[in-house]
Amino acid sequence: MRSSGGWLSIVGLALGALVVGWAHTSMGGDLRIFAQPEALAVVFGGTAAALLVSFPGRALRGALAGVRDLLQRPAPLETLVPAFIGYARKARRQGLAAVERDIEQMGDTFLARALSLAVSGLPVQVVREAIEIDARVIAEREEERAQVLEAAAGYAPTLGIVGAVLGLMRVMQHFSSSAGVG
């Protein structure tokens, strides 16, 4: 299920972090233990390095743009049908020129292109085919963006384990005898 504009995702992440922090401190833990620059460098730097090796720069830039777009999504999809009904009524009452003026103010390039094709006077079949081609291109672009983010979601936990092992190795270096390990 999609959140509206991505803000619920941010709230969810913040709430998750707060719950983990609360649980840790309620058991006597210190939150400063989480602020280890080396561990953050292993996880985030290692994930970035793995992504650089796995994907071309174009795909990485696209994934970053996709995350930005997700957080700035102007309107939920539920508003599209009423918007199109409004455009149809406006075109019928005031003519296609009135709808053309609205196209310039539209923030969504796909919808702007669809409306501009619709008011251009082209045959309906040509408009439909052009919009379907645009939709397929956008879907392929979004799929590539999703693959980058899915890969990052797979690399980060693995590198977190690597960071934990490195931390354990550092702790083990401080023991001079095997009796101290127990």
What single-letter DSSP state applies at residue 103?
H
Query: Rounded to two decimals, what is the model's pTM?
Result: 0.65
Predicted confidence at residue 76, as pLDDT, reads 64
Rounded CA separation 156/160 (Å): 6
Percent of the chain with pLDDT over 90: 38
Higher pLDDT, 148 or 38: 148
Predicted confidence at residue 71, as pLDDT, reads 76
Higher pLDDT, 73 or 10: 10
Provide the pLDDT confidence category of residue 147 given band limits of 50, 70 and 90: very high
What single-letter DSSP state applies at residue 73?
-
Predicted confidence at residue 18, as pLDDT, reads 93
Measured between alpha carbons, how far apart are the two ends of the chain, in Å?
48
Predicted confidence at residue 172, as pLDDT, reads 80
Angle in degrees, CA 33, 28, 170, rounded to 5: 35
Could you tell me the CA-to-CA distances from 10 to 5, 48, 51, 115, 144 in Å, in that order? 10, 21, 23, 33, 23
Asked whether the predicted pLDDT for residue 180 surpasses 70, the reply is no
Predicted confidence at residue 6, as pLDDT, reads 64
Angle in degrees, CA 115, 142, 60, rounded to 5: 130
Higher pLDDT, 108 or 160: 160
